[in-house]
């Protein structure tokens, strides 16, 4: 299987690692506008070679797009304009409706699969690529009925080769769900980091920082070039999720400020209920922070 991966960072590089290991890919070609990233990807053996976009998509069986959402606006239509009728294209972006709307009337829409592997780390670049990054995680496929059966089946087979579970949603449902379980945690981490950085005695604070702080704020190390476009393209649901989050932060603030400690206890005990969900005791939700998303399972 000849696979071209556009974007050789964490997601693209990790896809390359596992698709090579499982032998799903027999030939891997990479595309990256960053020449240093392209060279590093070849050096690390993530891809066999790198090419220009025009050359790379020619003759590919599968084209995987793993670039920031805003960069897809030109790249995805160009790819669909220039592939043959047998090539399957899938994007791995985190914001979906703006992408599916972009190509909804394209004559080769059937060859496109809108996918989102719910996995990642705070690191970026080819050196951040990890073997097994996707194992046991969920891959969301959006608007599957808009894709041709043979193209859909091929991407499903690829995702299953990565040992991923597959959920089926509309693009709108995906954007709404991920705003809460993926995008909001990143926004909260960025805000927490800024709050601490604002302190004049922050060096002392960092010296005292324990595992809890580090695990909470680690997402603040995530790439701006990736997350700024996600927040922009999923603006509506980001604002909704932030408003809900701010409401709950205010409840904590007010109960502490006004010494309403019974209310504070109630808030903490209610939050503790998340444990049963994360431990897999709720049939409608799946263990793992990145998997708290309703499954709209396609009927076989």
Q: What is the pLDDT of residue 297?
A: 38
For 229-278, how does the pLDDT look when each residue is reduced to its tens digit (9 = 90+)?
A: 999 989 999 999 999 999 999 999 999 999 999 999 999 999 998 887 77
Query: What is the predicted pLDDT for the residue at 276?
Result: 79
On the question of pLDDT at 286 being above 70, the answer is: no
Residue 294: the pLDDT is 40
Task: Specify the pLDDT at position 65.
Answer: 97
CATH code at position 197: 1.10.3660.10
pLDDT above 80 (res 13): yes
Q: Which residues pair with residue 251 across a beta bridge?
A: none
Mind listing the pLDDT tens digit for each residue in 96-152?
Answer: 999 999 999 999 999 999 999 988 777 788 998 899 999 999 999 999 999 999 999
Domain termination site, one of 115, 139, 170: 170
| Residue 161, pLDDT above cutoff 80 | yes
Is residue 180 located within the same domain as residue 127? no
Give residue-wise pLDDT tens across range 172-191: 999 999 899 889 999 999 99
Last residue within a domain, chosen from 108, 136, 170: 170
Which of residues 145, 170, 195 is at a domain's end?
Answer: 170
Q: Does residue 117 sit in the same domain as residue 149? A: yes
pLDDT at 282 over 60: no
Confidence of residue 296 (pLDDT cuts 50, 70, 90): very low
The proportion of the chain whose per-residue pLDDT surpasses 90, expressed as a percent, equals 70
Check pLDDT > 90 for residue 66: yes
Is the pLDDT at 291 greater than 50, yes or no?
A: no
Percent of the chain with pLDDT over 70: 89
Query: How many domains in the chain?
Result: 2
pLDDT reported for residue 210: 63
pLDDT of residue 207 exceeding 70: no
Question: At 52, which CATH number?
Answer: 3.40.50.720
The predicted pLDDT at position 295 comes to 42
Q: Is the pLDDT of residue 18 over 90?
A: yes
Q: Is the pLDDT of residue 154 over 60?
A: yes
268 in a structural domain: yes
The verdict on residue 298 lying in a domain is no
């Amino acid at each position: 299987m000849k696979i071209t991966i556009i974007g050789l960072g964490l997601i693209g590089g990790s896809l390359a690692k596992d698709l090579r290991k499982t032998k799903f890919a027999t030939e891997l070609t990479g595309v990256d506008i960053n020449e240093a990233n392209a060279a590093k990807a070849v050096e690390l053996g993530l891809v066999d070679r790198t090419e220009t976009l025009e050359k790379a998509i020619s003759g590919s069986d599968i084209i995987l797009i793993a670039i920031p959402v805003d960069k897809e606006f030109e790249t995805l239509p160009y790819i669909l304009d220039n592939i043959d009728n047998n090539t399957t294209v899938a994007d791995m972006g985190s914001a979906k409706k703006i992408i599916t709307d972009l190509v909804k009337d394209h004559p080769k829409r059937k060859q496109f699969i809108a996918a989102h592997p719910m996995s990642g780390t705070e690191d970026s670049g080819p050196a951040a690529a990890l073997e097994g990054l996707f194992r046991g995680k969920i891959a969301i496929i959006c608007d599957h009925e808009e894709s041709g059966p043979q193209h859909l089946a091929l991407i499903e087979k690829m995702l299953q080769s990565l040992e991923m579970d597959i959920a089926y949603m509309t693009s709108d449902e995906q954007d709404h769900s991920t705003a809460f379980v993926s995008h909001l945690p990143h926004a909260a981490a960025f805000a927490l980091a800024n709050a601490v950085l604002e302190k004049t005695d922050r060096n002392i604070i960092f010296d005292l920082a324990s595992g809890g702080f580090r695990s909470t704020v680690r997402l603040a190390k995530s790439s701006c070039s990736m997350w700024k476009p996600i927040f922009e393209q999923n603006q509506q649901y980001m604002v909704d999720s932030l408003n809900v989050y701010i409401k709950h932060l205010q409840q904590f603030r007010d109960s502490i400020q006004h010494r309403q400690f019974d209310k504070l206890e109630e808030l903490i005990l209610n939050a503790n209920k998340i444990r049963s969900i994360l431990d897999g005791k709720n049939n409608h939700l799946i263990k793992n922070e990145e998997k708290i998303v309703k499954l709209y399972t396609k009927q076989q």
